[in-house]
Amino acid sequence: MTSAREALEWMKKEAGGQGDRFLFRGQNRVWPSIKPSITRLDEQTMRDMWAVCRWFNTSAHGVTGYHIPKEHDRLAILQHYIGRSPVIDLTATPEIAMYFALQGAEPNRECVVYSVERSVAISPDVVFSDHSFLTLPLDSGGSKHRWLRQDGYSVGPAGWRDPDVVRGFDLLRLSGVNSKCFVKGPADDELVRHLGDLEDTRSDPLALAVRGTITSIARSLNFLTPGIIRVLQASKTRDSDAELAAEIDSMISLASSAKAPDGLLDTLRSLRAAVGTHWDTSFDCSLDWARGQLQRLVQVIDTTEPGAAPDLAST
């Protein structure tokens, strides 16, 4: 059986310094087919997620702040951050494919990496997407996107709006796809340790904005069902509602310990009650605005004389 190191060298040889002619995918388990992740949901949740996908496809500018012309680029953002969409993740970097093949695999498990030759696999029915567009300017966190750190690409069916087409799409049935299976050895994680944590989203502004937008869309469609909530909770993103609520809770605690006037506490509690209902956190600027409001409230606490009513108009 091939070793992880040999599988990595095989991918590097395939890539051969030819840019993104070859794309790769790593999995810590061998499956008979690789289909878009949305098809792995139960029927009702899949239908709800499909509606959310279609709306996200038309409103992705709310995440990035400007128009993304290619719809498969918009779907790729959704797949990368939410993990349930009509497209499949790929990368142009062999080490990154190996990273995901090894991730979560115990020693002696059979893992697999795939190589996809784009020029052979592409057809009128197959669409590839890359990260040649920057979703946010570099000075606004564009260099911190996890998708860029993972050299992320995607592939999916041109007819992604048809559930039956997506159900029938299988990466392993495309032309130009080859694979290399290997058994994970006890020291194989060292092969990719230099990459760090490729799934960390703490500094990635899209991880906040994408989930907030999806939550907002699902809520407006009345599709924020237990199934969709589970999808969001399982995604490796950041919960904008939870982050904002935690900040306001901290402010309430601070105001209470500082014996702030009841009017100020009532204001904070009203803000807290609005999170997830009247306060839409789908855009990253919403949290910035919220933090500005909370900082002003801190200043009110600091500058109000004991026993005096705070000037809430300034907030």
For the chain, the structural domain boundaries read 4-220, 240-314
Q: Which uninterrupted H or E stretch holds 231?
A: helix 226-234
* Highest-scoring range by mean pLDDT, 13-22, 86-95, 236-245: 86-95
> Which residues have CB under 8 Å from 157's CB, separation 6+?
36, 86, 125, 126, 127, 165, 166, 168, 169
Q: Above 50 in pLDDT, residue 285?
A: no
State residue 26's pLDDT score: 97
- Over residues 135-152, the pLDDT tens digits come to 666 666 666 788 888 989
- Neighbour tally for 245: CB within 10 Å: 18
Give how far the C-alpha of residue 124 lies from the chain's centroid of Cα atoms, to the nearest Å.
27
Q: Above 90 in pLDDT, residue 239?
A: no
Angle between helix axes 226-234 and 205-220 (nearest 10 degrees) is 180
Greatest extent of the chain over all pairs of C-alpha atoms, in Å: 77
State residue 165's pLDDT score: 95
- Over residues 24-45, the pLDDT tens digits come to 999 999 999 999 999 999 999 9
Q: Above 90 in pLDDT, residue 279?
A: no
Mean pLDDT computed over 217-243: 87
**Rounded to the nearest 5 degrees, what angle is found at the Cα of 123, between the Cα atoms of 117 and 127?**
80
- Neighbour tally for 251: CB within 10 Å: 23
Write the DSSP symbol of residue 279.
B
Mean pLDDT computed over 246-267: 79
